[in-house]
Amino acid sequence: MSKKFYILNAIIALSLIGCTLAPKYSRPQSPVANNWPAGQAYKTLESTNHPFAQDLNWQEFYQDPRLQNLIRIALENSRDLKLAALNVELARSVYGIQRNTLFPALNLAASGVKQRNSADLTRPGEPRTTEQYSVSFGLFSWEIDFFGRIRSLKDKALQEYLATEQARRSAQLLLVSSVANTYLALAADRENLMLAQKTFETQKEFLYLVQKQFDIGVATELELRQAQTILDTARKNIAFYTQLVAQDENALNLLVGTNVPPEILPSDFRSVVPPREISPGLSSDVLLRRPDVLQAEHMLKAANADIGAARAAFFPRISLTSAIGTASTDLEGLFKSGTGTWNFAPQLVMPIFDLRTWSALKYSKVQRQLILTQYEKSIQNAFREVADALALCGTIDDQLSAQESLVSALEDTCRLAKARYEKGIDSYLPLLDAQRSLYAAQQALVSVRLAKFESRIRLYVALGGGWNNANDKSM
């Protein structure tokens, strides 16, 4: 008995350390330049005073306390994240099932049969009613993985599980950035709403002045109607931005997964604490650590393991069924001396002619090439996203400076035009143009300020921000 036990242990050990026919994996060469693009648009590369994106978790990058509260609520309540987490658990279970196939499954089986036979089928002197009872303990149809088929399938399941984990991290990164962008959009729309309301009140007073001048014959009806246009435009924008603010709040409620408390919403854009400035570093190798790129690489490793399983299908499959137990025609005598039983039934199946195995091997190789192409494409897309974000970050300050200067100049122009109109030096037309231009420039200034903050978020996400922070449990 002990000798058979040692033999069985030896077979298990050999099956666990057997060979594998999967190709040796090596990371493909990156299909993009090693360095970020250079030129006038990429001024941020010249700065080395900012921290790297990979060194900042989201709490350090998003500095606004109210936004941090929103993100925490979203991470706790988001249904999208819950679905991603459940997918991870599902893949982990599949991996556990496939991994445990390597080990034999021990079973305990007990049976009892009592039957009455036909008199024609019963020999003289034999009872027509018979009983049989048995208890056995052993393993049933355990495949001994000498050629690594099961190990390759186990490795494939492991890589698919790791890919779902990276997909969860991608979903979390997208959720956090979406909450931040919607929060900033709400702040910008509330700023524009306040600007429209202020413009409406100012133009309402000015229209009253023009109306009085019209009543005494100083202003013309054309000037009165022209003054009315700015007022109506501001009134229309009040309704429009009121709508946008409500839609932004609805979007935040959906992203966060619950109704957002009003006290943690931004009152206007000027009250928002901007995200931190970051540096991309000098090498594009950082892209290889982005969650979506890592997900694609894990799928490539899974395809690599699938080739090993397809190759192993050309070799014999060896399975083993073995059991030890006791059997008796009497339930009370089941464990008495002389009732012991055992069986040992190895089986070998050797494929001789099966064209499906060749097709399966070809399929696995083509599948690997397809996933390799997707992996390379994901790196190229990531490189472009970073390059585009760097171009925006490198030029947005110049845009903002120019827009602020334009607003300042138009404010002076509007003030001077108003003074000249009130003194009767000019007609209302120069003042009308100045008012329209100033209002449009003020709206554009809010948009440029929003774009500046969004460009930092865009760069942070494009670099996979937060992936290298081991102390951040939520990222």
Give pLDDT tens digits for 156-214. 888 888 899 898 888 888 899 999 999 999 999 999 999 999 988 888 887 777 788 77
Residues 407-435 have pLDDT tens digits of 999 999 989 988 887 777 877 778 788 88
Answer yes or no: is pLDDT of 17 > 60: no
Q: 58 pLDDT exceeds 70? A: yes
Q: For residue 212, what pLDDT is reported?
A: 81
- Domain boundary assignment for the chain: 16-102+146-314+355-462, 104-144+316-350
pLDDT of residue 473: 44
Determine the average pLDDT of the residues in 120-135: 77
Higher pLDDT pick, 273 / 351? 273
Class of domain 16-102+146-314+355-462: mainly alpha
pLDDT tier, 475 (very low <50, low <70, confident <90, very high otherwise): very low
pLDDT at 144 over 80: no
Could you please state the CATH topology (level 3) that the domain comprising 104-144+316-350 is classified under.
Answer: Outer membrane efflux proteins (OEP) (2.20.200)
pLDDT at 70: 93
**Given pLDDT bands bounded at 50, 70 and 90, which one contains residue 115?**
confident
Q: How confident is the model at residue 450 (pLDDT cuts 50, 70, 90)?
A: very high
Band (pLDDT 50/70/90 cuts) for residue 474 is very low
Distance of CA 187 to the CA centre of its chain: 26
**Range in 80-94, 198-212, 406-420, 461-475 the model is least confident about:** 461-475
Q: Evaluate whether 152 touches 21 at the Cβ level (below 8 Å).
A: yes
- Select the more confidently predicted residue: 17 or 246: 246
Q: What is the pLDDT of residue 315?
A: 79
Say if residue 469's pLDDT is above 50. Answer: no
Enter the tokens of residue 187: 């702040």
pLDDT, tens digit (0-9, with 9 covering 90-100), for 254-303: 988 889 889 999 988 889 999 998 888 878 888 888 899 999 999 999 99
Judge contact between 158 and 243, C-beta under 8 A: no
Query: Fold identical between 16-102+146-314+355-462 and 104-144+316-350?
Result: no
